Amino acid sequence: MHIEQINRQFDEIASRLRVDDADLIRRTDRLRRRESARVALVIAFLIAALLLLATGLALLSPVAWCAGLFAFVAASTADRLLRMT
């Protein structure tokens, strides 16, 4: 019951903000979308790294293994760079 009351109050404050300060809502929505895109990109790089490393190890392929390492480094670099903006 207490959680429901807090949720109602939060929804009320958010609806008032949408009316009073629409620019704030647009900025926070943009930041939320940017964060979601960053997370999706990093996850995609990590999945690619996992698949390439596993393939490289299974087939004893240095090219696939190096590509997997590159994807892993790209994931951490993209996370670091996109977090700064």
Q: How confident is the model at residue 1 (pLDDT cuts 50, 70, 90)?
A: low
- Predicted confidence band of residue 12 (pLDDT cuts 50, 70, 90): confident
* Sign of the torsion formed by the C-alpha atoms of 71, 75, 76 and 80: positive
Cβ atoms within 10 Å of 46's Cβ, excluding its own: 16
- pLDDT tens, position by position, 30-58: 888 999 999 999 999 999 999 999 999 99
- Contact present, 64 and 52 (Cβ < 8 Å): yes
Q: Which residues does 85 contact at the CB level (< 8 Å), separation at least 6?
A: 34
* Contact in structure between 70 and 45 (CB atoms under 8 Å): no
Cα 69 from chain centre: 20
